Amino acid sequence: MGEQDPAFVLRYLAEVEALAEEVMAGRQQIVALDQKRNENREALRALSKELDSSDQVMVCFGNMFVQLPKTKTKDMLQRDQERLDEEIAKQRKELKVNVSRLLEAQGKPELKGYNLKPLSTEEMCFMRKLVDS
């Protein structure tokens, strides 16, 4: 038994295919979440630009419209934006793990620079102080 065994090859191919499907599903989910985030951003922008003096706005939930106060609608959209940001960050983290697992299963080297993280605000301030001095 070994790498020439047809059962081994089939198990290997099934594992690689399952990992590839996880990667593709993760990417699609990130795109869908990002699209929802952009729609929320558009709604928030429309609310802030609205010149109408009424305190109520019509909001669509599924296939029905509901009249809600502007402030409550804005708060709901902002909370949804925060939740979407967190979910997208979580999905991106999981995607990195899944891509690494897929590359490992394929016997390919890990992507260089793929696990880099941006500098925090504090780190950026420190770097600016170093550069300016």
| β-bridge mates for residue 67, sequence order | 58
How high is the pLDDT of residue 48? 85
> Model pTM?
0.73
Cα separations in angstroms, 89 against 10, 66, 119, 129: 34, 31, 15, 29
How high is the pLDDT of residue 53? 67
Q: Please write the tens of the pLDDT for every residue from 104-123.
A: 888 888 777 666 777 888 88
Q: Which CATH number fits domain 6-132: 3.40.50.720, 1.10.357.140, 1.10.287.370, 2.60.450.10?
A: 1.10.287.370
H/E segment holding residue 59:
strand 56-61
Q: How far apart are CA 17 and CA 4, in angstroms?
A: 19
How does pLDDT run along the chain (133 residues), one tens digit per residue?
456 788 888 888 889 899 999 999 999 999 999 999 999 999 999 888 876 667 888 888 889 999 999 889 999 999 999 999 999 999 999 998 999 889 888 888 877 766 677 788 888 888 888 888 7
17 by DSSP, 3-state: which? helix
How high is the pLDDT of residue 51? 65
Sorted by sequence, the CB contacts under 8 Å of residue 115 that are 6+ apart come out as 96
